Structure 1
Amino acid sequence: MPTYSISELARELDITTRAIRFYEEQSMLSPERRGQERIYSSKDKVTLKLILRGKRIGFSLAECKELIELYDPGQGNRKQLQTFMSKIAERRAQLEQQLLDIQQMQLELDTAEERCQLAMAELDKKQTVNP
């Protein structure tokens, strides 16, 4: 089974060693120790990939941790997958609401811009009439 040093793992996953140590502090990774050296397993690498994927789709670190802890190789990962699907649905609903909020804000900006343009046109008209 392959093992990785912290710098190898960081380079391979394009993250900092500081980020890896942070996930270790959060008890999401548990490398072996050989003196001062950390030795990461393939499981640690997969865990890091899951964390990074979760972050990319907007999951909190707590949500990532919950999903990773649900994995049970002996029982299969049905519970993990069901929880993941539920969290995906929640995230999708949040994004849809954010999109609606953004669209509403764009309409309000359009209205404010239009009012400003009309007010400026009125000022220009008054300046032309009363120089």
Structure 2
Amino acid sequence: MTEIRLTFKEMCARFDVTPRTLRYYEYIELLQPERDGRSRYYSTRECARMTLIMRGRKFGIKLEEIRQWLKIYENEGTKAQMSAFVEMADHQLVELEEQAEQLSDAIKELRTLREETTKKLA
């Protein structure tokens, strides 16, 4: 696997994030780009971490949980990280299922209110 080295701007474009987001991820220690003066360069490792961060965000996982999860790999290795992921995924699945149920209820209620209002208008 060839080592890549993306600039700050290239990293923003690749992951479709704002410069502010990328700087924040660095600030909270999710990413540690190589620095050369004021320039930042993102390696294959940082791109892999960013992929995991973006995936976690897609599923609604909090940044602090993602940060702790990424640290597990550094401290304990892949198996421990995978185990932690299963726990994190189980917790998030419960959360998402609850949200889906709440959304379903809200949609039903809104449809009912809309139909009642439509009948009153007629």
Structure-1 separation of matches of 2:77 and 2:23: 29
1:69 maps to what in 2? 71
1:68 deviates by 0.9
Which residues of structure 2 form unaligned runs of 5+?
A: none
1:129 maps to what in 2? none
1:101 maps to what in 2? 102
1:91 paired with 2:92, answer yes
Judging changes above 3 Å, is the alpha-carbon distance between structure 1 residues 83 and 113 closer, same or farther for their aligned structure 2 residues? same
1:57 maps to what in 2? 59
1:117 deviates by 6.4
Amino acid at match of 1:85: V
**Residues 103-125 of structure 1: per-residue CA shift (max 9 Å, x gap):** 3334444554566567x38xx8x
1:23 paired with 2:25, answer yes
Q: TM-score, normalised by structure 2?
A: 0.80
1:15 deviates by 1.9
Aligned-residue CA RMSD (Å): 2.3
Structure-1 separation of matches of 2:109 and 2:42: 52
Q: Percent identity?
A: 28
Which of structures 1 and 2 has the bigger CA Rg? Answer: 1
Q: How many residues align?
A: 120
2:49 maps to what in 1? 47
Which residues of structure 1 form unaligned runs of 5+?
A: 125-131
